[in-house]
Homo-oligomer: A and B are copies of this chain.
């Protein structure tokens, strides 16, 4: 069951990085949603390796084939299966990789769990699996937009030590898609380029922080106690490779805040702030839903590190293949995908139980302007 995600919109993924194919089955999608194979291209391209010189150079044409669940261009309510063949899995000798455990990889833990593993390109533990999350979320994003006017978008909010510097320019959602970093301040991009070039030259890697924001989420989504919207988001984000932390709204900054500052006061014209990140008691408040995610630095480095081999001998591990010096750079679409999947699942759960409740008064209007700058 651990390869499935969601309750009513349930996504099951399969496939190894260098096996024959990767794919997913999306169960529970409402009927009547128009969808075609070419609609997957954009988000897959956003996530794709080979986007720029700052990400790894695997050039794979990730063409999605719809195997089921769509008839005459519309979803039928039956499971939607998506398939992508692995075409760029270079044939090479994996014996050496198979025989040793790289520090900070899942090599050792998969071995300890299963006593057996597919070592080719990381096998099942590869970030290649996240491709299917992005593909599945194309459907979720479209349904959320059409049915509820909900949009989900993300940006990089930290790269190593570099944070958005609003002295250089204003936060701008339009800038995000215009640079390879999903960075919201265009004037800062050259500095990021320089930073990454130096990093790549050094053979080292850094972490990153991604922030995802959903606009238009109505109040009421999310199920207390163990099905909270923020609980689901936390699980969703933490399930992405290399993630080490999740925050809702102000997150860890809340620790040092005073209650009189943190609490988002309510007026008839809207909330006066959004420290909560749009979720109270596990349920959406009608404000922007805001979630930030910490990615650790890539562990595959050209710099040698101490590891073990299957015989228990200490070995020096050097990774020579294609690897991103910062996996977080192209994680933005993946984080968006997980939020979209969570929101659609919660929307379905909400109307199952509370479909008769309808709109309740008073409903505080969303205050998008105030929330927009993150």
Contacts and interface: CB of A to CB of B under 8 A. Distances in A.
Contacts of A280: 104-106, 108-109
A272 B305 CA distance: 11
Contacts of A348: 352-353
Contact of A254 (B250, B261, B285, B294): B294
A50 to B, nearest CB: 21
A241 B225 CA distance: 9
A280 to B, nearest CB: 5
Band of interface residues on A = 35 or more
A281 interface: yes
Given A23-B81, A220-B109, A311-B362, A103 B354 contact: no
A360 B108 CA distance: 10
A45 interface: no
Given A105-B281, A106-B283, A312-B268, A114 B357 contact: yes
Interface in A259-281: 259-268, 272, 275-277, 279-281
Contacts of A251: 244-245, 252, 294
Interface stretch (A52-60, A165-173, A184-192, A206-214): A206-214
A356 B103 contact: no
Interface string A144-179: 000100000000001011000000000000000000
Interface string A12-47: 111110011111010111111000000000000000
Given A21-B67, A247-B252, A115 B31 contact: yes
B108 A266 contact: yes
Contacts of A8: 1, 349, 352-353
A137 interface: no
B3 A79 contact: yes
A351 B354 contact: no
A7 to B, nearest CB: 7
A234 interface: yes
A205 B258 CA distance: 5
B16 A12 contact: no
A262 B27 contact: no
B76 A14 contact: no
Name the residue in A236, A248, A352, A358 with the highest tally of chain B Cβ atoms < 10 Å from its Cβ.
Answer: A352
Contacts of A161: 256
Contacts of A30: 353-357
A117 interface: yes
Nearest to A221: B113
Interface string A271-310: 0100111011111111000000011111101010111101
Contact of A4 (B10, B16, B101, B360): B10
A238 interface: yes
A112 B286 contact: yes
B294 A255 contact: yes
B71 A116 contact: yes
A2 interface: yes
Closest 10 CB pairs of A and B: A106-B281, A2-B227, A312-B362, A205-B259, A2-B223, A104-B263, A109-B283, A352-B352, A259-B297, A235-B235
Given A228-B238, A234-B246, 14 more contacts: A8-B349, A8-B352, A14-B68, A14-B69, A14-B80, A16-B68, A103-B265, A108-B219, A205-B258, A207-B254, A232-B235, A244-B252, A265-B307, A351-B352
